[in-house]
Amino acid sequence: MTTPIVQTDIYMDFQGLQSLRAQAKGDDEAALREIAGQFEALFIQMMLSSMRDASLGEGLLDGEHTKTYESMFDRQIAIDLSKQKGLGLAEMMVRQMSRGSESDGQASGVPIPVSPAYQVPAPSSISVPAAIGPAAATARDWRPETPEEFVRELLPHARKAADSLGTEPEVLIAQAALESGWGRHMIRGPDGSNSFNLFGIKADAGWTGNRVMTETVEFRDGLMRKERAHFRAYASPAESFADYADFLRSNPRYRDALDGAGGQDGFVRALADAGYATDPQYAVKINRIMDSDRLRNAMSDNIDRAL
């Protein structure tokens, strides 16, 4: 007779987890299924946490208490989702583990490769956290940890775009740093995928590429307002820089910026005067980054590496 499995319905039910651990030692199939469900819940919770980290910034009422309750909510939602249809990960694990225990001559504890029949493709609406699959996540994502890493990745693309625009690469690096929070607050899709939009270029009716909708801050009639808008999405930082250069060259309104009058400051000021951004302090903020020790040190570090 199979011992009834103790369902862990809330993430802080430690007694249920202890009972689950005891039953797992008996090699009970129901215990195996529940353990797989718990693992899937953990996987879902990591995805939810990753999506929250991809937000553009904190709200006016956000704080440490809010983050704590959000974390608790994510864990509970993850458990509830795993007890329904879930992602299919738990079922895949049960099949694989059951198949492994029934294989002739298979040593205990030796992993068995997952056959294609049991592989569950990740839905397009799921972003795989780096903790689960760093190699796969790196291919779809980019989140630099330091300004030095930010500059190191973007400098080759910035140099190429700057040459075509008649300006200096540090100007474009500074603008990208402002628009993306040094790469830490990139615009992301509903699945958490990176748009690689480093210059905040919106997707108008003439844009035929991929796009993503997100919340943005605009200044209207002197007031700061939150709005939702479509932005262009790229496959890599290189595509973002290339499209930025094409965007400026194909718009007559930015002709003064491309004429090069006034050097770096003139380029940034002409962009702002032409209405590149609605923020009245846009040029000031870019120039502040260009004059900062953070950018200077990052640029110097990467130039020294190249020598």
Q: Give residue-wise pLDDT tens across range 155-165.
A: 999 999 999 99
**Is residue 130 scored above 70 in pLDDT?**
no
Based on the residue annotation, tell me whether 218 is a catalytic residue of this protein.
yes
| pLDDT band at residue 53 using 50, 70 and 90 as cut-offs | low
Residue-range domains of the chain with CATH? 14-120 (no CATH), 147-306 (1.10.530.10)
Q: What are the structure tokens assigned to 76, written together? A: 């509970």
Q: One of 29, 58, 62, 218 is an active-site residue; which one?
A: 218
pLDDT of residue 268: 93
CA dihedral 74, 77, 81, 86 (to 10 degrees): 0
Q: Is the pLDDT of residue 66 over 90?
A: no
More confident residue, 185 or 82: 185
Q: Per-residue confidence at 224, pLDDT binned at 50, 70, 90?
A: confident
Pick from 125, 120, 141: nearest CA to 47: 125
Kindly report, residue by residue over 198-222, the tens digit of the pLDDT: 999 999 988 999 999 998 888 887 7
pLDDT, position 265: 83
Average the pLDDT over 55-82 and give the result. Answer: 65
Q: What is the pLDDT of residues 168-194, one digit of tens each?
A: 999 999 999 999 999 999 999 888 899
Instruction: State the pLDDT at residue 158.
Output: 96
Q: What's the pTM?
A: 0.55
Point out which residues pair with 227 in neighbouring strands. Answer: 216
Q: Which of 13-27, 79-93, 123-137, 165-179 has the lowest mean pLDDT?
A: 123-137
Q: Is 215 a catalytic residue?
A: no
Query: Which residue among the candidates 34, 40, 74, 243 is catalytic per the annotation?
Result: 243
- Estimate to the nearest angstrom the gap between the alpha carbon of 98 and the chain centroid: 35
13/209: higher pLDDT? 209
Strand segments, DSSP code E, in 40-145 are none
